[in-house]
Structures are given as structure tokens and as C-alpha cells.
A and B are shown apart, each in its own frame.
Chain A
């Protein structure tokens, strides 16, 4: 039975009224003005340069795994900036609101954020950073790189790949929309129960949070299926299991985690939805409900999600460290075994997120030992990287620096993680900022891997150098900022500061809080260098060869830079584990095929984009209880799926002479080149 809600409701607009627009909040007005100006500049530039058709044909409707991957990364970077802005506001509020005499501005009693707004900001910060920044960036990287590493033309299901992207984008749009229409959840990124139940959060904030995650996680699950099938079925001839690059192995394991874990999140949120919309009692304290059921389900997904993020990061280090050590990776087989050991154990550790809940010492002891077991395969990996570095011919290019910094962050995050795995310590520091500093070391290690990967593979994908000078400045300022913010945070944790404080009651914490704020300012400088690095690189456009680093080892560096849209003119025959290194050793890295064959490619489709936008309308309708919008969007999705299922599009073919022409003039085949319209194959031609 549908639950009655507080406040006005109309059939046309549901709960949406003018009062839902927060035009009385100066921060949001300023943010809206900024977003509107940036949006107008982008739209204006697209129209001025007449690029609307190009955007539609080559990007929005694309099914090319590289373009989809790049769009995932752009989405993730935009959300990363949003998440950073949230983090900056959290730190600034805590730096301002110290002690009873601290002044308040913009309607806040202390600092500049009233508690309800502050709660929304830390909830958004966690949600955005984990699910809408780190996850899309890593998914994007695996999308771009894995098919190239295994010698495939594209993903196994190119259409579904585009659908995954647009569902993730729909979720991200809902999160951004909550800034300007309504509000966001104030119950933390984990959805603290029973705070997320309707009586305690009667607004639309929890609904925004819930539906944004639900919709985007369907995209992530579909992507996991796609990636697993691609790795199993689409490998080039000779690419046997134990010739797979380690990044591909980690992608496989991470997507097995994704496929098995994300449905649990879907169930956890689905049951919460049943409570909020239908008056069910899954998570209520009475009437047969159980609060802990939610926490348990959330972390059954939540902890594997940590490894979902960290395993690709380990794969990235495993690619970059050998390249810049000019040696094969030490202990390949143990690296693969360690990857799957971590993935396996990841399913038996989730309860360490709530040791203090009151489970018995036997239960806590089991999960404590299981958590510590993760340290063994992780240790194997660290020693393998160190033995790869040992006596290597080291080059400290930007990707290598990010990777080495990642190892230090892994050490700091890992050791503090082992501390937290001990229930006795966990009882002492639970919900303190010590825990926050610990997991930020882990997510910043993932961040370091992401920046390592972007700087390592950017020249490959776009065919131009990334500016090294600004890249180095970005690296050093970012790492220095990380040290300043999180060393101070560890100290504050030991001093007893609890997490999520809108007001700091102990003025003794002021020096460390101001130190953290100084670190945040340095992060702003580092973002400036990142933007400058991109600007200088795009301005100068210094072309790079197929292997921009000269010492790369894996298959993706065999094809041209920028990578043609068909990836490889001729599907490569793989001869060794590090194929490019093997060919270089045998003097074969520059050999070209004698003749080209017909290349079969999938056609673009607008349906994934349409379904993504309908999914967003579906979520918006549910959030605001605009039932007609929800029903119409759902019907639209069903119709779009039916239309697609009857679409007999068989793809198109590129003839050998056209392939030869593009191989001679790579500018016509790269990622930013516009392709001429090609006719889809007919049934007769396909036979």
C-alpha cells in the first residue's frame, strides 16, 4: 500500500513545488550561477563551432569502447571535482566552527553551513567520490584498455556498453540535480538506518540518494557482465589465459566481484524503497523488521566494492612498474593468484564495518582474522612490485611517480587497516576520524592509480603527449596536500575527534584542523596544475609513436597512437605474455601486415542514450512521486527495449582498401576523427 507523505502533493508535479528550489540558500545560488555559466559556455561553443551533429554521431550515440571509456572518465572527473568541492566545504566548516565563540555566517550559528546542509554535504561527498567518481573512472579505464590488451575489436556487447554508460550518467545527473531541486540525503553515504526511513527523513533527499545509486548500479552490473564475457570470449589468437596482462586479470576479478556484489546493493536499496514507498517494515524496529538487516546487506556489497575499486588500481601498478623498470613483472603467477585470493576473501570480511554492533567475540574474531588474511595476498603483491623495481633501469616519469606514491599510500592505509581489523582497537577508534584517514589513504591510493593510468595511457589513446612539467607539478602538489590533510587527520582521530561534526567542541583540535585546511588549499593548486597540464597538452599537440614510452610491454602499445577506431588493422597473433616486449626482443615490433582484410564493426545507436535519459526521468518521477512521469518513463524504456530487440542491424564493414588508406593517414581513424556515414549490412550481404 502506498505510504501517505507529509506536505503538498499534486497529480501534475507530485511533491515538487516552488519551495523545493533552494533559492534562499546563497551557496546554492552561487553554485547554480557557476554551473549555468559553464553550461552556457559549453553549449555556446558547441553551437558556434557547429559540432552538435559531430557530438551526436561520434560520441552520444557511439558504441566504440574507447569513446565510451573516455566519456566514463570525463564523467568521473567532473564528479571528482564535485566531490572535492564537498570535501573542501566539510574541511572549511570544521576549520571555522571551532568552539562556542566561533562566528556564524550565511544562516549558520557557527561556520557557514547549518547542520542539515553540512549533513547533506558529507553524504554527497562519499556517494559521489565512491560511486560517481572512482567507479566511472576505473570502469572507463578498463573499457578503453582491456579490449586493446587482449587484441579485441570492441567489447563483447557494444550496445550494452553504451547502455551501461548512460545509466551511470543518469544516476550522476540525479545527484547533481539534487543540488538545485530539493535536497540530498542527510543520512551519510552508507544510508544510516533508521535515519533513511520515511519518519526520520521525510523529504526527497534519501530518495535522490537511493534512486541515483540504484540506476547507476544497474549500469555497473551490466558493464561487469560485458567485461567478463569480453575477457573470456574475445581474446586474440594466442592470448591464452596465462598470457593475459595483469591489468586484464584484475579487471576480470573486479568484475566478478561487481557482478556478484552489486545485486546485493540493489536488494538492500529495493527493500528500503519498499519501506519508504509501500509502507513495508524490512528495516523498522518493530513489526518484524530489523535495523541491522540493512547494515548487513549494505556492507555485504560495501566491502567487496572496496576491492572492486582497489584491484584495478593494483592492475595499473602492475602495468606501469615493469614499463618504467624495463623488466618483466616479478611473480606473474603469484600476482594473478593474489588477485583472486583478495577477491575471494573480500566476501568474508564485511562485518568489520560494524564490529561494535554487539556480535559475540566468536563472530568478531572470525571477521577479524578474515580481514587480516587480506594482508597476505596484498603483501605478495607489494613484494612482487618491489622485486620488479629491484635492479631495474628505473625512469621516474609521471605514471611511475604516481604508482610509487600509491605504494606508500597502500602501506599507510594497509597498516592502519590491519589495526582496525582488531576488534579491541576498533572499539576505541570506531567512528573517529582515524577511520576516515585510513580509508582515505586507500581511496587516494586508488586515485593515485587513476592518475597514473590517465598519464600512462592518455598518449596512447589520443596520440599526443601529456605535458610532463605540469604533470609533475600536479603530482607533487597533490601528494604534499594528501600528506598534510591526512597525517593531521590521523592525529585528530587519536585525539578523539568523531566523524561528521558540523561543530567542533574542543578548541585543542584547532591547529590540526587548520593544517587540514591548508592541505585542502594545496589540493586546489594541484587541480590548477591538472587543468594546465590538459590545456598545454591540447595546445601543443606533440604527436607520439605507437609506444610513447619506448619500454611498454603489452599488446595495446602495438597498434597506432591514436588508436584507430577499429583498434587493430589485422587481429594480432599473440606469441608471449608481454607481446610487445617479445616482438621488440625479436625485432618485430614495427612489422606491418602484407594485406588487409574486411573489418566488421557495430553500428552506432541512439537507444542507449534514450534509455539513459528515460531512466533519469523514471528516477525523478519516483523521487518527487510524479506518478505519470514515472509510468511514462517506464513505458518508454520498455518500448525502446522492444524496438531494439526487433532492430536487425548487422553492423557495417570497412573494406581493405579503406583500412589501408586509414593506416597511411591515421588522423582519419583516431578517436576524435569524424567518420563518414557507412551503410549497414543487409541480410544478403552478411551471408
Chain B
């Protein structure tokens, strides 16, 4: 924070990661996304487990990217960004949660077809 203003990269809140962190973040993201793709393509898991597995992999990828690319932590330099990210969580739960609820309600009322032909919703 007290670094001179002339070189932005001297500021810890600007220079968010180092070369090894970028590489580690890239590799981790690739592995996790590849894993999610394989799970989706092979279709071995039941629907419920499939949703939780891919959702879990996405969450881990998000956390890895936040930590390795953006260097988010609770240090003085990064606390604003970390808090901002945490504050989006209620918003995320609100918008995704209400959407899931709405589609569940919609499916029950409009997708009146044999159960085997209908993809279950997240709440089923």
C-alpha cells in the first residue's frame, strides 16, 4: 500500500500473482474442468450425484482461481476484493435458488409427460 505510485506492479493489490501461481492456477483449472467434462461425457453417475460432483468440481475450480490467479486472502491489500467476493454469495444463492425453485414449480405444472422422458430438476 505504501509503494511508490509510479510502478503499479509494486502494489500488492495490483500484482496479484506470480509466474508459478499463474501456471499452477492454469493447470489446476484445466484438470478440474477436464474432470467435470469426463464425468459429463461418461454418464456413469446417477443424476443427483452427477449434479453434486460437477457442482463440487466447479466450486473447487473457483476457489483455486480466486486463490492462485487473484491471490485473494485476508491481507490488508486484498481484503476489499475478498469481502466483495464473499458478499456476492448471498446474491448467488438468491438468484440461483429462486431460479431452481421456479423451474421446479414450472416442471411440475407444464411438463406433464411420462416420468421416464423428463429430465429431473435439481429439487427432485
Contacts and interface: CB of A to CB of B under 8 A. Distances in A.
A40 interface: no
B102 to A, nearest CB: 5
A448 B54 CA distance: 49
Interface in A344-369: 347-348, 351, 357-360, 362-363, 366
A4 to B, nearest CB: 26
Contact of B109 (A260, A300, A360): A360
A686 B91 contact: no
Interface residues of B, number: 19
Contacts of A232: 80
Interface hub of B5, B88, B119 (most chain A Cβ within 10 A): B5
B88 A351 contact: no
A258 B105 CA distance: 29
B30 interface: no
Contact of A351 (B5, B98, B110): B98
A232 B79 CA distance: 14
Contacts of B52: none
A147 to B, nearest CB: 19
A687 interface: yes
Contact of B99 (A296, A357, A366, A686): A296
B5 A296 contact: no
Contacts, number: 43
Given A359-B105, A687-B6, A347 B94 contact: yes
A351 B6 contact: no
Given A296-B99, A686-B6, A357 B91 contact: no
Contacts of B95: 264, 300, 347
Interface string A647-666: 00010000000000000000
Interface residues of A, number: 22
A360 B102 CA distance: 8
A296 B102 contact: yes
Contacts of B80: 232
B4 interface: yes
Contact of B106 (A260, A292, A347, A687): A292
Nearest to B103: A292
Nearest to A683: B6
Nearest to A359: B105
B105 A362 contact: yes
Nearest to B88: A260
A290 B119 CA distance: 12
Nearest to B4: A687
Contacts of A358: 106, 109-110
Contact of A300 (B99, B110, B119): B99
A375 B21 CA distance: 49
Contact of B105 (A290, A363, A650): A363
B9 to A, nearest CB: 10
A288 B98 CA distance: 21
Nearest to A229: B80
Contacts of B102: 296, 351, 359, 363
A39 B122 CA distance: 56
B26 interface: no
A260 B6 contact: no
A292 B105 CA distance: 12
Interface string B99-124: 10111011011100000000100000
A357 B106 contact: yes
Contacts of A296: 99, 102-103
Q: Which 8 A-B pairs have the closest CB atoms?
A: A360-B105, A363-B105, A359-B105, A686-B6, A358-B109, A358-B110, A363-B102, A359-B102
24 contacts: A232-B80, A290-B103, A292-B106, A296-B99, A296-B102, A296-B103, A300-B95, A347-B91, A347-B94, A348-B94, A348-B98, A357-B106, A358-B109, A358-B110, A359-B102, A359-B106, A360-B108, A362-B105, A363-B101, A363-B102, A650-B6, A683-B6, A686-B5, A687-B4
Given A296-B99, A686-B6, 18 more contacts: A260-B88, A264-B95, A288-B119, A290-B103, A292-B106, A296-B102, A300-B99, A347-B94, A348-B94, A348-B98, A358-B106, A358-B109, A359-B109, A360-B108, A360-B109, A362-B105, A366-B98, A687-B6
